[in-house]
Structure 1
Amino acid sequence: MPIVMADRATVIADTLLQCAGASAHEAEVVARHCIGANLAGHDSHGIIQIPVYIDRVKKGHIVPGAPIDIVQESPTTTVIDGNWGFGYVVSEHAMNLTIEKARKSNVAACTVFRQSHVGRVADYPLMAAKAGMIAIMTADSGRAPKQVAPFGGREPRLGTNPISVAVPSELEGPLFIDMATSAAAAGKLKVAAARGTPIPAGWLLDKDGRQTTDPRALGQGGVLLPLGGSEGYKGYGLSAIVEILSGILPGLGFGVEPTGKHNDGCFMAVFNVEAFRPLATFKREVTEFAEYLKATPTDADTKQVLYPGEVEHNRATQRGSEGLDIEDKTWAELKGLADGYGVTERLGMQG
């Protein structure tokens, strides 16, 4: 697989998006989030998505330059219609607006509908954590054809329905969770299929309802299982709540979008820490709590205990210096786009 430095990957993603019709601002936002996902080790939401987004632009499923409309608002709440714009741009705008409302009113919430894929959900609560606030965000994974079965079922009724929470601290890397409520994000299967590697047992059923480790089975009538294995009713329950917060509450609905457009609905809430405790004291105690967790004696198979979010920080540090592994299939797709737009030489992708 080609190894590409993050700065170069960002330029490639940004350039191709602009060639496809994105504005300079839209391309910068989407490229930054995608390469940030690669750096954090979430390749399923990284540069592998750029050809997908460009294809959706060509089909009219993503509308470059779409207006971001406020449908309804109060001093503490906002309902936003993204008008099929780039989800990264819409959700970044929505989180900034929610942070500003929380500065004034201490607590604020927002719902978003009719936007394209928002990528790695943690990116948005982390914006609030940097501003000294606690944030939660849920996403309904888009009303594209569903991929996750309810607990005990063998037909898809839900998306991967992620949830993320981030808090401010004094740690070198941020403390947060970002998790699908399915056994795995569908994008992880896409990466595994592109790299020709098997997936763990317990993630996927094939079209006949049998467990499989072949990631290609998802695209052949298979279905993802909810998080939790034999305790999957817990992941299923979380997924249903995420669907209500991110789909039904914004007015997006549930099930499959009739137009076939990928349609991420989101719910986000922000809490100003200063409304509860002095921020400096809170950040210090969160840091001490993380250190307390890390000091736990380890089991026989674990080298060290990490606080939530530390693994992504460590990966970003490593990949920032060593570069990103881009699977051959993805590189070929990117090069094909560059050839088509006549920017192969400018991007140094001739080889």
Structure 2
Amino acid sequence: MPIVHADRLTRIGAALLRGAGASEEEAQAVAVGCVNANLAGHDSHGIIAVPTYIDRIKAGHIVPGAKWTIVQESPTTTVIDGNWGFGFHVNAKAMELTIAKAKTANVAACTVFRQSHVGRLAHYPLMAMREGMIGIATADSGRSPKHVAPFGGREARLGTNPISIAVPSELEAPFYLDMATSAVAAGKIQLAVARGERIPTGWIIDAEGRHTTDPTDYRKGGALLPLGGSEGYKGSGLAAMVEVLCGLLTGLGFGVEPTGRHNDGRFMAVFNVAAFRPLQDFKREVAEFARYLKSTPASEGSPGVFYPGEVEFLREQERGKNGIEIEDATWDKLRALAGEYGLTKQLDLA
């Protein structure tokens, strides 16, 4: 598998997206978002997704250049129609607007609908964190095809429905949560297929509802399992609540529409820490809390405690220095797209 540095991988992703019709701003937003996911170790949301996004452009499911619009708003709330634009681009604008409102009103929230995949969810709460605020984001796939079987079932009825929360601190590595409410993100199944790897028991069931370690069973009528293993009702319940916030509150609804068009729904909220207590005191205490968590002796077979967001930061440092390993199947798709758009020589992908 080739090892590619982040800046080159970003240039490749952005050039291919521009070749498919994305504007410079859109292409950069998507490419940077994907490569940042690779850097953090979330390869399922990394450059592997770019060929899928281009397929969706070709199918008319993503509309490059679409202008997002505000449907209704108040001093603390906004409802945004993405008009089938790039989720990366639309949601960054939505979070910027929500942060601006929270600077005035201290608390603000928004919903976003009719947009493509939003990528790694943590990107948006981290925007609020950098402004001294607590950011919360949840996402679902609207009425797109579902991937997760509710606890006790064998057919998919839910999305992977992630939740992300980021808080400001004095820590070098940001303190944030970014998790799917399923046992694993759907992209990790795709990644295992691309790499020819088996997957752990507890990630998926096959079409008959049986546990399997073969990732190809997923595309043969299988389903992801909810977070929690034998206590999967917890992940299933969280996913259902995310569906309410991002599917029902946005007006997207539930179930699956026949077109199969991917349609992420979003709910995001921002809280200005200074409205509750002095920001510097809060940031200092979050850092002290993280150190308190890490101070426990390690359990048997464990390297010790990592606070939320720390592992991603360490991976980012390592991959930023040494490069990102790209599976051959993904690299071949990128090369094929470069050939299609006459970019092989420009991107040195011969």
Is this a same-fold pair by TM over 0.5?
Answer: yes
> What is the match of residue 46 of structure 2?
46
2:137 alignment partner, SS class: strand
The structural deviation recorded for 1:143 is: 2.8
CA deviations over 1:44-86 (Å, ceiling 9, x no partner)? 0000001000110011000000011000100000000000000
Matched, 1:328 2:324: no
CA distance in 2, matches of 1:143, 1:10: 30
CA distance in 1, matches of 2:102, 2:331: 42
> What is the match of residue 123 of structure 1?
123
Alignment of 1:149-228 (within 5 A): 149-228=149-228
The structural deviation recorded for 1:209 is: 1.1
Instruction: Letter of the 2:325 partner, please give it.
Output: D
> What is the match of residue 112 of structure 2?
112
1:226 alignment partner, SS class: coil
Partners of 1:117 and 1:142 within 8 A in 2: no
> What is the match of residue 22 of structure 1?
22
CA distance in 2, matches of 1:222, 1:288: 44
User: Any unmatched runs of 5+ in structure 2?
Assistant: none
The structural deviation recorded for 1:275 is: 0.2
The structural deviation recorded for 1:34 is: 0.3
Matched, 1:89 2:86: no
The structural deviation recorded for 1:142 is: 4.5
Instruction: Letter of the 1:201 partner, please give it.
Output: T
> What is the match of residue 99 of structure 2?
99
Partners of 1:134 and 1:167 within 8 A in 2: yes
1:7 alignment partner, SS class: helix
> What is the match of residue 304 of structure 1?
304
Partners of 2:139 and 2:246 within 8 A in 1: yes
**Range 327-336 or range 200-209, more displaced:** 200-209
Partners of 1:142 and 1:264 within 8 A in 2: yes
Partners of 1:79 and 1:110 within 8 A in 2: yes
CA distance in 2, matches of 1:203, 1:256: 22
> What is the match of residue 57 of structure 1?
57
2:251 alignment partner, SS class: coil
2:232 alignment partner, SS class: helix
> What is the match of residue 12 of structure 1?
12
Taking only the aligned residue pairs, the percentage that are identical comes to 68
The structural deviation recorded for 1:259 is: 2.8
> What is the match of residue 275 of structure 2?
275
1:347 alignment partner, SS class: coil
Instruction: Letter of the 1:9 partner, please give it.
Output: L
**C-alpha RMSD over aligned residues:** 0.7
In the alignment of these two chains, the number of paired residues is: 350
CA distance in 2, matches of 1:141, 1:282: 34
CA distance in 2, matches of 1:120, 1:15: 20
The structural deviation recorded for 1:308 is: 0.4
> What is the match of residue 265 of structure 1?
265
User: Any unmatched runs of 5+ in structure 1?
Assistant: none
CA distance in 1, matches of 2:194, 2:147: 18
